[in-house]
Amino acid sequence: MYRDIRNESLFADAHERSMTYIDEVFDRNVYPTEEALSSLRIFDEDFPDAPTEASGVIDLLGRYGAPATVAQLGGRYFGFVNGSVTPVGLAAKEMATFWDQNTAMHVLSPFASRLESVVEGWLNEIFGLPDGTVAGFVSGTSLASFSGLAAGRYRLLERLGWDINTRGLFEAPRLRVVTGDHAHATVHKAVAMLGLGADAVERVPVDSEGRLIASALPPLDDHTLLVLQAGNVNSGSFDPFADVCEAAREAGAWIHIDGAFGMWAAATERLAHLTRGIELADSWAVDGHKTLNTPYDSGIVLCRDSEALSMALHASGSYLVLGEDRNSMFFTPEMSRRSRIIELWATLKYLGRSGVDEMVNGLHERAAQFADEVGAVPGFSVLNDVVFNQVMVRCDTDELTSSTLSRIQDLRECWVGGASWNGRRIIRVSVCSWATTPDDVSRSVASFAQALDDVVGGHAIAG
């Protein structure tokens, strides 16, 4: 049964289904149909007493799972900020799946450890970060921000004469967190997980594009974690790093940048101006699985202060085998971890400098096209300056915006989500898939127009 790993027909079947999936995913309904969703009932069963044939398990996934997936791989998914995958990234991940490497320590996987060192150097070059910056490969920006801020918490307290590792947070000098009013929810989550408390957060007012207003910063000091943003999750705007980082450094603050999707602007000639000044920070969080289009899950924490990061994420035990080589677990909260570096390395190796530039710039161009085309449809207006890959759209009233959004989702020709912006409802468009073609954009805008027509004409209620 489970001993027969070389089960050729099983893998052939799974592979065949995966290829069929790819054949269909670029053209099918982006969101699963109601029928596909209600068929998921098949999975609601008690834990089976007896084994199931392996082929039957894969059949269940293929038959009921695949149609119920959201077509994020394709070119008309514009929800949240979600990338697609390149063929080489997916193929590399498939090989890595077979190798099943644990990357906690060098001794566990010298190969993965080597690739991590190589990619760490590449990322420093791509983003223009200081020499000696180290990288930890985590599940996403949530954990990357947690790790970067943990390093900051360690270092600020250490400078204040307090060793958090032995003395803990109770009675420790109080730290402040200063961040823009539009900081991502995961920044606040990290602050909570780090025990700093929401009361420690000082929110700085933002301008009409969601950028922190430099002149509105409170005085910073050596108790401060300053969190800036490269890529506002709604508008795509960037905080004014160059205007605030130097003074923040002089004040002794720790600067962390949430650059989940926006950091990649640094990899392009045309958009790099948006990230000017990021090299002055102490830690950075960025995703591979958004703008770079690596498979999930791929997040990276980068930290100028290698010692602070590893002290913050320290683990020890007599059975651990440590040497001079890179031991990844000192740069991540986890110990055992899959080798997500393999698909990240493969994607970067495949694209090279010019390929990354082209991919990231392409997302910007499609976003600009989306804004131009949707802005030309009567009844829609574009609210933001499309500096990167995000477009904010609204109709004449909040009610119309909400019902049009819901009709767009029902039509399933594309998928977008909503949010509120300065108290008004908006439709968010995030162009984050390399697979989005100019035609995908036009098709999606046509679906927006159709949805608005349906709503105004009263046809949407039955839909």
Ligand X SMILES: *Cc1c(COP(=O)(O)O)cnc(C)c1O
d(Cα 77, Cα 27) in Å, to the nearest integer? 11
Letters for 285-304 (x = contact with ligand X by CB under 6 A, - = none) are --x-----------x-----
Among 123, 134, 226, 233, binds ligand X (CB under 6 A): 233
Residues 6+ away with beta carbon under 8 Å from 322: 105
**Look-up of token digits 């130097």:** 246
Task: Give yes or no for a contact between 299 and 140, defined as CB atoms under 8 angstroms apart.
Answer: yes
> In terms of CB distance, is 67 or 299 closer to ligand X?
299
Which range of residues in 136-144, 338-346, 356-364, 435-443 is near ligand X by CB under 6 A?
A: 136-144
Least Å distance, CB 321 to ligand X, is 30
Interface with ligand X: number of residues (CB under 6 A): 13
d(Cα 438, Cα 277) in Å, to the nearest integer? 33
Tell me if 141 contacts ligand X by CB under 6 A: yes
Residues 6+ away with beta carbon under 8 Å from 248: 220, 224, 226, 255, 280
CA angle 169, 105, 289 (to 5 degrees): 80
Task: Give yes or no for a contact between 201 and 226, defined as CB atoms under 8 angstroms apart.
Answer: no
Least Å distance, CB 288 to ligand X, is 9
Task: Give yes or no for a contact between 204 and 180, defined as CB atoms under 8 angstroms apart.
Answer: yes
Which range of residues in 51-59, 107-115, 253-261, 302-310 is near ligand X by CB under 6 A?
A: 253-261
Tell me if 142 contacts ligand X by CB under 6 A: yes
Among 241, 261, 345, 448, binds ligand X (CB under 6 A): 261
Tell me if 258 contacts ligand X by CB under 6 A: yes
- Residues 76-105 interacting with ligand X (rule: CB under 6 A): 81
Dihedral angle at the C-alpha atoms of 330, 128, 154, 309, nearest 10 degrees?
0
Least Å distance, CB 79 to ligand X, is 11
- Residues 379-418 interacting with ligand X (rule: CB under 6 A): none
**Look-up of token digits 């804004």:** 371
> In terms of CB distance, is 113 or 141 closer to ligand X?
141
Least Å distance, CB 145 to ligand X, is 7
Query: In one letter, which amino acid is 439?
Result: D
d(Cα 200, Cα 220) in Å, to the nearest integer? 13
Among 76, 153, 184, 326, binds ligand X (CB under 6 A): 184
Q: What strands, in cross-sheet order, belong to the sheet with 224-229? A: 134-138, 299-303, 283-287, 254-258, 224-229, 176-180, 201-204
Which range of residues in 106-114, 257-265, 320-328, 350-358 is near ligand X by CB under 6 A?
A: 257-265
d(Cα 230, Cα 216) in Å, to the nearest integer? 18
Least Å distance, CB 140 to ligand X, is 3
d(Cα 407, Cα 413) in Å, to the nearest integer? 10
Which range of residues in 13-21, 135-143, 188-196, 271-279 is near ligand X by CB under 6 A?
A: 135-143
Tell me if 140 contacts ligand X by CB under 6 A: yes
Which range of residues in 66-74, 115-123, 139-147, 407-415 is near ligand X by CB under 6 A?
A: 139-147
Residues 6+ away with beta carbon under 8 Å from 460: 403, 406, 407, 410, 451, 454
Tell me if 136 contacts ligand X by CB under 6 A: no
Tell me if 260 contacts ligand X by CB under 6 A: yes
Least Å distance, CB 180 to ligand X, is 11
Residues 6+ away with beta carbon under 8 Å from 95: 342
> In terms of CB distance, is 229 or 447 closer to ligand X?
229
> In terms of CB distance, is 146 or 380 closer to ligand X?
146
> In terms of CB distance, is 194 or 260 closer to ligand X?
260
- Phi first, then psi, for residue 393 (nearest 5°) are -125, 145
> In terms of CB distance, is 58 or 348 closer to ligand X?
348
Helix axes 141-159, 185-193, angle to 10 degrees: 50
> In terms of CB distance, is 67 or 288 closer to ligand X?
288
Tell me if 231 contacts ligand X by CB under 6 A: yes
> In terms of CB distance, is 96 or 432 closer to ligand X?
432
> In terms of CB distance, is 186 or 403 closer to ligand X?
186
Least Å distance, CB 148 to ligand X, is 12
Which range of residues in 52-60, 89-97, 241-249, 258-266 is near ligand X by CB under 6 A?
A: 258-266
Tell me if 186 contacts ligand X by CB under 6 A: yes
Least Å distance, CB 380 to ligand X, is 24
Which range of residues in 27-35, 138-146, 155-163, 432-440 is near ligand X by CB under 6 A?
A: 138-146
Which residues of this protein are in contact with ligand X, per CB under 6 A?
81, 140-142, 184, 186, 231, 233, 258, 260-261, 287, 299
